[in-house]
Amino acid sequence: MNGNGYRYKATETSTMFNLISTYIADHVISIEQEKNSQKRVLSYQTTNTFKPSSNYITSLFKFCLSVQFCCYLIRGRLNSFVKN
């Protein structure tokens, strides 16, 4: 690498094409590394947050319905017990 941080070295033998292609390759590599680090951060954030799935919501709804049904049955039994 030269003083600017790039790995190409401008000499008489290097052509403009080699300079440009090496420059582009360096930037593509750095962009890919940036994307990979962002993906790692994103995957870490998504695995450590709670996301309710549709199965969770469905089971919660069924649980609430069953609790309501049990309360209805208990209330009916209590009413019949009080009447007698």
Supply the pLDDT for residue 73.
Answer: 84
CB burial of residue 8 (10 Å; 0-12, 13-18, 19+): middle
Supply the pLDDT for residue 32.
Answer: 74
- CA atoms within 13 Å, Cβ hemisphere of 25: 9
pTM as predicted? 0.33
Supply the pLDDT for residue 48.
Answer: 54
CA dihedral of residues 40, 42, 46, 47 (deg, nearest 10): 10
Supply the pLDDT for residue 62.
Answer: 87
Supply the pLDDT for residue 84.
Answer: 57
Where the chain has pLDDT below 50, the residues are 1, 12
Supply the pLDDT for residue 30.
Answer: 74
Enter the tokens of residue 84: 């007698």
